[in-house]
Amino acid sequence: MKIINARSNTLYIDRFIALGSQAWCILGANRSGIEAFFRLVSGEGTDITADQLERPENFGVISFKEQQALYEAELRADDTDFLDRIDPGTPARSFLRDIDHHSSLIEAFAMTPCLDKGYRQLSTGQARKLLLLSQITNGMSGLAIQAPYEGLDPQSRKELDTALCHLHRQKVLLVLFVHNQEDIPSWCTHAGVMVKGRLTLQGPREAVMMSLEKEWHKASADFQVSARRLPGGQIPEPVKPEQTELVCLNQGAAGYGGQKIFQGLTLTLLQGDHTLITGPNGSGKSTLLQMITGDHPACYQNDLRIFGIQRGSGESVWELKKHMGIVSSELQRNYYVPGNTISCIISGLFDSIGVYRPYTRQQEHQAMAWLERLGMPEKAGLPFRDLSYADQRLVLIARALIKLPRLLVLDEPTQGMDELNRMAVLDFLEDVAREKISTLLYVSHRRDEFRDFFGQHLQMGDYCVSDHCGELY
């Protein structure tokens, strides 16, 4: 790969050369220009000019955009409505070519037991590895990979890291794009650092790491989320007594395709009981949240009360959701309707994906106040789907909070963010907790997100009934 004098409004790459025997890792904060650089390397930078741009033949791309496209294709092919069971999705083996020839590679990815699972039965880590295998078994000689470790628990990160190292040893050119220092693999041969659209450091990994601390401080200095201040003009409702019950699950269980994911789970969440949920990929964390939000059929099959109302008693799910704010990868994937950023935030007031009714000037001002707080007022009119993955996640946090919900359900809300943005979001959520605006139910894989304001910690792995159980998403 060779890039000479690449230029756009946000990117200025003088020279970048990656040889087939090398493994590169590019580090950059969310607004460092790393998104534009990834688009250039992946062949999608149509707005970027270059004196010379050479990409290897059979060069593959693993990106949030590619994952979204696959998700939407699976959604269109979902036959659940015509079956007497939930459609598990396309079998994993259907994504691969010449499985017998690549059996050792599939084994190295720890994916052999998953070949007969449907795509929707795979955990986050398994789906990520399947995309990698799909590219390699289809003859790709190199890969550009966007944020490969995002959303993975420590064990899944280790497995994926081992698999990527295996590809490197097979002389597959790898160019990884990451937002956090800890995501730079020890086995990569070269590294680069993006600062304000420029590749300010690049070269052998050891040399770059020696100079990284000073350069990374500059790269992360201009982060966008300002903590410690709620947008003006929003006054929370009076706080109800602390002992108000929000969630009560008694000996809960859930599964997929006849296979149990977890069982015997009891959870009581009172107002002010900010709760952290952890556990490995596939232990049912997202499934539990979907039960609570009413987006999984198991909510009707369990002894479950939400806001004191027994599920399955004829209640309206929309009446319950009026008091919830939700941020999840599933919502982000599902939010593919046309609409701009400001309308996405406003849609949180109506609990809809998209806005289908007139909204008031006051509601628009509320949404703009959140955008200003995110440092994104200039993006109000941009299509939500055109934002970067991290900016979409920030907008969805604003969408969840605009109605100041009693229960704020957050499934890895900082996914795709650089370190300072993650810390700023957590600082802000700490203020939400301290000011008793919402009660937080928070899923995370990251140890540095374990904050003191979490009064409860639920470890989902303690209730998982199978080593290979898969989450719905």
Question: From CA 348, how far away is CA 260, in angstroms rounded?
Answer: 33
More confident residue, 268 or 108: 268
Average pLDDT on 95-100 reads 92
Residues 163 and 269 in one domain: no
Average pLDDT on 125-133 reads 83
More confident residue, 186 or 154: 186
CA-CA-CA-CA dihedral for 430, 432, 435, 438, to nearest 10: -130
CA-CA-CA-CA dihedral for 163, 167, 170, 172, to nearest 10: 180
pLDDT band at 471; cut points 50, 70, 90: very low
Average pLDDT on 401-420 reads 90
Question: From CA 298, how far away is CA 248, in angstroms rounded?
Answer: 14
pTM metric for this prediction? 0.79
Residues 82 and 182 in one domain: yes
Name the DSSP letter for residue 74: H
Domain boundary among 172, 204, 220: 220
Q: Domain tally for the chain?
A: 2
Domain encompassing residue 351: 245-463
468 occurs within a structural domain: no
pLDDT band at 117; cut points 50, 70, 90: confident
Average pLDDT on 285-298 reads 90
- On the question of pLDDT at 466 being above 70, the answer is no
Question: From CA 128, how far away is CA 122, in angstroms rounded?
Answer: 9
Question: From CA 394, how far away is CA 373, in angstroms rounded?
Answer: 10
386 occurs within a structural domain: yes
233 occurs within a structural domain: no
- At 469 the pLDDT is 43
- On the question of pLDDT at 334 being above 70, the answer is yes
131 occurs within a structural domain: yes
pLDDT band at 295; cut points 50, 70, 90: confident
75 occurs within a structural domain: yes
More confident residue, 44 or 11: 11
pLDDT band at 339; cut points 50, 70, 90: very high
Average pLDDT on 95-105 reads 90
59 occurs within a structural domain: yes
Average pLDDT on 213-238 reads 54
Q: Whole-number mean pLDDT of the chain?
A: 85
234 occurs within a structural domain: no
- At 472 the pLDDT is 30
The pLDDT > 90 percentage for the chain reads 44
- At 224 the pLDDT is 57
- At 127 the pLDDT is 82
pLDDT band at 228; cut points 50, 70, 90: very low
Residues 249 and 109 in one domain: no
227 occurs within a structural domain: no
Q: 132: domain CATH number?
A: 3.40.50.300
Q: What is the pLDDT of residues 9-40, one digit of tens each?
A: 889 999 999 998 899 999 998 888 999 999 99
Residues 196 and 289 in one domain: no
- On the question of pLDDT at 71 being above 80, the answer is no
Residues 276 and 373 in one domain: yes
More confident residue, 259 or 51: 51
Residues 82 and 192 in one domain: yes
Q: In what order do the strands lie in the sheet with 190-195?
A: 49-54, 2-7, 12-17, 198-204, 190-195, 23-28, 173-178, 142-146, 59-62
Residues 32 and 181 in one domain: yes
- On the question of pLDDT at 233 being above 50, the answer is no
Residues 179 and 95 in one domain: yes
The pLDDT > 70 percentage for the chain reads 89
Residues 14 and 130 in one domain: yes
Residues 274 and 205 in one domain: no
- On the question of pLDDT at 150 being above 80, the answer is yes
Residues 189 and 276 in one domain: no
- At 473 the pLDDT is 28
Residues 52 and 114 in one domain: yes
